[in-house]
């Protein structure tokens, strides 16, 4: 029997360093956006957008998804759809708590507001 021959593959170190530099730059941009006097919604929207770009860079280059066959992306897409459906279902069932809905107790009477000191 012959011994297995080790194979060499080229490692693109320069590409990894460029992606690393892009990730560092985007992190600095995220911190910079957070320090601006923007509205909370705008700041969150920009930060989530930058985080999406950063996650895409990590997935494409460090997880080697850039050169994968398209069949790999079907389970990834299914996972994303199910994740979104889970959150949609959660907000659908529990979202009424977000808007200050007052619930009655088990016997159907609404909770009473606390009375002020001088009132009876």
Q: Is 3 helix (H, G, I), strand (E, B) or coil?
A: coil
Question: Domain-by-domain residue ranges, the chain?
Answer: 12-67, 69-99
Q: Minimal CA–CA distance to 29: which of 12, 9, 54, 4?
A: 54
User: Would residue 100 be called left, alpha or beta, if left means φ above 0 and alpha means ψ between -120 and 50 degrees?
Assistant: left
State CA 39 to chain mean position distance: 20
Residue 13 pLDDT level (bands cut at 50, 70, 90): confident
Q: Minimal CA–CA distance to 54: which of 16, 11, 24?
A: 24
pTM value? 0.57
pLDDT at 71 over 70: yes
The 10 Å Cβ neighbour count of residue 19 is: 17
pLDDT at 58 over 90: yes
Q: Which residue has the higher pLDDT, 60 or 100?
A: 60
């Amino acid at each position: 029997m012959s011994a297995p021959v080790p194979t060499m593959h080229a490692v693109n170190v320069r590409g990894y360093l460029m992606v690393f530099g892009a990730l560092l730059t985007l992190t600095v941009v995220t911190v910079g956006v957070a320090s601006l006097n923007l509205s909370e919604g705008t700041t969150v929207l920009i930060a989530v957008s930058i985080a999406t770009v950063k996650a895409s860079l990590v997935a494409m280059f460090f997880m080697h998804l850039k050169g994968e066959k398209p069949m790999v992306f079907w389970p990834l897409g299914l996972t994303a759809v199910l994740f979104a459906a889970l959150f949609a279902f959660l907000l659908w069932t529990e979202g009424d708590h977000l808007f200050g809905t007052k619930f009655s107790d088990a016997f159907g009477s609404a909770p009473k507001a606390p009375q002020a000191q001088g009132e009876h």
